[in-house]
Structure 1
Amino acid sequence: MKIKEISVGIQSARGALDDFIAAGDTVARGEVVAEETSIYFTSMEAFRKALTPKRLELIHIIKTEKPVSINHLAKLAHRNIKNVAEDVKFLVQVGLVETTGNRALAPRVDYDEIQLKIAV
């Protein structure tokens, strides 16, 4: 299995904008921007609201049980399918979960750990 690290960080909106501008300047000079798999939140509170214990549990279940559909995941988690589908949709949007399949979307996690970086 491919090992992939996803860094989760806390960064101000201004810091994120500065990083975006710096990446644009790098591209404008014809240089290649290093690919980084990171997700940034503007505060610890935003992080706690986004990566709730239930969402982290879903990630763990996806990684260990390999459900074949969102419905299967909901059954494994003993949760309402609508809530699980919403949580999976969010996790896909932030890049922590991928889905495969056409009709029954099978959630997938292809990394082994999440690292949290907090700027001081």
Structure 2
Amino acid sequence: MSRLKIGIASLEDYKARTIAIARGQYKPGPDEPKVWFQSLDVLAKVLSPANRELLTLISQTHPESLDELAEKTGRAISNLSRTLRTMERYNLVRLEAGPRRRLAPRVDYDGVELDLDFDLTPGRRVPSSSDGLLPA
């Protein structure tokens, strides 16, 4: 398995980056993050200790359904479903159709790599109109 590269970008910078990519004005490099979080606080919530344990359990046991995962964790299916959908939005898990249309969670990475600069100048790592890389 590999590591998922993640970054932190404001919503404004993320939107500007996405628009620039769609317009062909910016091409992301192969070493750039594939997933972006709006803040370290959001990252910390999504990758809380309980959620990291859940990712480890999924990776090690390969449950065939949310029912099976609920049994293994003692968590309610509704709670697991909500957590997994959030993780899916950030590409941390993949929910694939299993037997009888049941969703089976899958983890395609063995960890994450955070690409974070100390320079908090808007647009420093993510192109934005303020740094001159994108049209205003």
Give the RMSD, CA atoms, in angstroms. Answer: 2.4
Deviation track 1:17-36 (CA, whole Å, cap 9, x = no partner) reads 33223313427xxx976676
Distance in 2 of aligned mates of 1:75 and 1:90: 20
- Computing the radius of gyration from Cα coordinates, the structure with the larger value is 2
Are the equivalent residues in 1 in contact too, given 2:7–2:33 (CA < 8 A)? no
Q: Give the fraction of aligned pairs with identical amino acids, expressed as a percent.
A: 30
> Which residue identity does 2:113 align to in structure 1?
Q
2:17 is matched with 19
Unmatched 5+ stretches in structure 1: none
TM-score by length of 2: 0.70
Aligned partner of residue 87 in structure 2, secondary structure:
helix
Deviation track 1:3-55 (CA, whole Å, cap 9, x = no partner) reads 3431121112232133223313427xxx9766766221121112122222222
C-alpha spacing 1:12/1:119, structure 2 compared with 1 (3 Å): farther
Are the equivalent residues in 2 in contact too, given 1:70–1:84 (CA < 8 A)? yes
Q: 2:67 aligns with which of 71, 74, 81?
A: 71
Are the equivalent residues in 2 in contact too, given 1:68–1:107 (CA < 8 A)? yes
Distance in 1 of aligned mates of 2:10 and 2:27: 25
Deviation track 1:44-85 (CA, whole Å, cap 9, x = no partner) reads 112122222222211111101111111111221222222112
> Which residue identity does 1:19 align to in structure 2?
R
Bigger helix share? 1
2:55 is matched with 59
Q: 1:43 aligns with which of 39, 53, 66?
A: 39
TM-score by length of 1: 0.78
Instruction: State the aligned residue count.
Output: 115
